[in-house]
Structure formats: C-alpha cells, structure tokens
Amino acid sequence: MSARAPHGADGAGPAQGPAEGTADKPVEEPAEGPYFLFDIDGTLVDSSGLIVSVWRRVAAEFGADAEAILAVCHGRRDSEVVPMFFRPEDIPRVTVRIQELEAEGVGLLRPVPGAPELLGGLPAGRWASVTSGPSRLMTGRLGAVGLPVPAVLVAADHVRRGKPDPEGYLAAAAALGAGPEACVVVEDAPAGVAAGRAAGMFVIGLTTTHTAAQLAGADAVVTSLAEVPGVAAARSGRA
C-alpha cells in the first residue's frame, strides 16, 4: 500500500475540531470494532535507541543540552524541537545532520513486540498512523522492520500543527470515515496522549518510552501491544 495524506491535512483546509462530549459518553461500538490510530516511533517501531543516539550526537556537535532535548522531543516534530535548543543560524545544518544520522542508523530499528501480530489482525480500512516524523522517513522505518504502511498516514509534513495539537488525529479519523468517538489512539508519549485526548478519542498509553505516571493523561495504560485489543473492546463501558 502507498501512504497518503488525508484530505485537509496538507494545508488545503482547516482541520475539524473535536466532537463535543465524546469523552464523557458511552461508546456505541461499530459492528466491525473500533478504528485504531497508531503513533509510529515507540508504538509500532522501536526507534528509541536511534532517537537517543541522534539527539546526543547532534547536541554534542552543536553545543546543545542533550538531556533537555530528550526530556521533550518524543512524540514531537523535529521542526518544533530544533528551534527550542539550537541557535537560529544553526537550524538548517542541524536539520540536515539529523536526517543524515537517522539514515545511517536504520539498522538499530526493530518492530515493537506484538506490532506485526496486532496489525496483521486488523482490516486495512480500520487503522491509520499519525506520526510526528516526516512521511518519507516514517514509511521507510515501517518498511525497514517489516511492518505494513497504512493507506492513511498523517505525518509531520501533512499538518499545520504537530502533537499535542489534535489536528493529525482528527485528519486521520476523517480520512477513515470515522468519528472521534469510534477511534482508539495508541501512543507512547505524553504529547501524543494529549493530542488524542484533545481530539475526543479514547487513548491507550503504551509504556515503551515513558512511565505509566508520565502517560497518566491516557484513558488506559498498557505495557504491551498484546493488551490493546482487550482494552479497546472493553472501552464502551467507560465513564
């Protein structure tokens, strides 16, 4: 399958706002089950080692604080993180250097345990990915670890505002033809959890990158992707 940006996610029109009240109403589950919206880095692809390595090397080369960067970078677009920590005149070179190091480190990538099985059990039209990485890089990472590229992929270059803004998740839901109340977001980072919640969706936090306490904004927190289907199936009775 080829990845595509959903209508309205490439700057052609404003993103739809979250449906009012969806966070408090019981969910009427579609007959086919919920729509799943997955983050990629840390959720489907184990890229934590690569991300840490890249930011540490770039920080050392350009005189930035690596620990400060790593405290906030997960789940956020590089275009938003880089200006926070690097001198304006260095931003173009930093951006290029990040891309070079990411390409060199592709061998460090692995699928998150349970990802092949989970995605393999979902119909093509029932799931999408919403990522803070560029679309070309993210499709490459999925392919590198043997995971399918979804028909709907909303990436950093498809939205005006990255996570924690809900724009990406709302755009993916619209492309799937699903309302926010029918969607389950699976995220490993606080920024992504906040984005899913702001979109009015049920959010499952996955503790691959952050602790359960750091993902406390999610509706549910799991330690494994194997737990996701059961938690999603039980969500209709949530308060």
Residue range 17-30, pLDDT digits in tens: 333 333 444 445 55
Name the more confident of 106 and 28: 106
Q: Rounded to whole angstroms, what are the CA distances from 192 to 51, 60, 145, 185? A: 16, 27, 22, 9
Which pair of tokens denotes residue 30? 């579609």
Kind of pairing between the strands at 183-187 and 220-222: unpaired
Residue of 39, 46, 78, 188 marked catalytic: 39
H, E, C per residue of 20-41:
CCCCCCCCCCCCCCCEEEECCE
Name 186's bridge partners.
38, 204
Name the more confident of 77 and 20: 77
78 belongs to the catalytic site? no
188 belongs to the catalytic site? no
> Looking at the predicted structure, is the pLDDT value of residue 92 above 60?
yes
Which pair of tokens denotes residue 230? 């059961």
Residue range 33-63, pLDDT digits in tens: 899 999 999 999 998 889 899 999 999 999 9
- pTM for the model stands at 0.77
DSSP 3-state of 46 = strand
Residue of 24, 41, 90, 157 marked catalytic: 41
Name 127's bridge partners.
36
